[in-house]
């Protein structure tokens, strides 16, 4: 067996152990199962491990391609992978777990030189259509807003980022939130 394969196997096991540890301490409380299928063959830890490994080490971001890669190259590690539809449904069901997991990662891997007293706040538009038209894409989570940087009205969402100041470097993200386009940065982060 070549060293490149061993290196990838090591990384896969390392990711799985990290995810399992976080599940035992924090994440298990965000994914309670209250059905007859409360102990699936493919665990939530394994699904998150597959997702993280393929995104990080292969640079694949589309869910169907992630499943395709896993079924072609990781089936010996995860024999109960199942269909793409089942995998996608399970991954979507773990959205609360992923939110908590990202918060844990951001806090745990913050550089030591980051300031805990100084923060920066910014947002960017995620435009689904121009403000001249009425928004029809995801109307339950989008609305009309104004982007002063671009000088335009638009329908869509905003990505808000609160970052810890890091001298002579980009700020380290502390919190990332998606909101409808009309939500103001300061109103959202007043509590923080």
pLDDT-derived band at 46, boundaries 50, 70, 90: very high
Q: Would you say the pTM of this structure is higher than 0.85?
A: no
Q: What CA–CA distance (Å, rounded) separates 134 from 143?
A: 9
Decide which of 59, 80, 108 is a domain's last residue: 108
Domain assignment present for residue 37? The answer is yes
Query: Distance between CA atoms of 143 and 183, rounded to whole angstroms?
Result: 9
Instruction: Please write the tens of the pLDDT for every residue from 117-174.
Output: 888 888 899 999 987 877 788 888 899 999 888 889 999 999 998 888 888 888 888 8
Structural domain boundaries enclosing 123 = 119-189
* Residue 112 CA, distance from chain mean position: 23
Domain boundary among 81, 108, 135: 108
Backbone phi, psi, residue 27, to 5°:
-75, -25
Mean pLDDT of the chain: 85
DSSP 69: H
In which band, very low, low, confident or very high, does the pLDDT at 192 lie, cut at 50, 70 and 90? Answer: low
Q: What is the pLDDT, as a whole number, of residue 126?
A: 92
């Amino acid at each position: 067996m070549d060293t490149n394969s061993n290196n990838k196997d090591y990384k896969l096991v390392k990711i799985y152990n990290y995810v399992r540890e976080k599940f035992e301490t924090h994440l298990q409380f965000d994914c309670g199962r209250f059905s007859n299928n409360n102990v699936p063959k493919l665990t939530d830890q394994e699904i998150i491990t597959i997702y993280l490994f393929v995104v990080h080490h292969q640079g694949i971001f589309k869910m169907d391609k992630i499943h395709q890669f896993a079924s072609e190259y990781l089936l010996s590690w995860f024999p109960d992978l199942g269909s793409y539809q089942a995998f996608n449904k399970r991954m979507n069901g773990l959205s609360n777990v992923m939110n908590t997991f990202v918060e844990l990662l951001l806090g745990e891997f913050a550089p030591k030189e980051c300031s805990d007293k100084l923060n920066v706040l910014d947002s960017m538009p995620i435009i689904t259509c121009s403000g001249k038209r009425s928004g029809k894409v995801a109307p339950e989570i989008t609305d009309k807003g104004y982007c002063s940087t671009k000088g335009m009205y638009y329908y869509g969402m905003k990505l808000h980022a609160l970052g810890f100041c890091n001298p002579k470097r980009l700020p380290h993200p502390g919190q990332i939130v998606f909101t409808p386009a009309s939500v103001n940065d300061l109103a959202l982060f007043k509590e923080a």
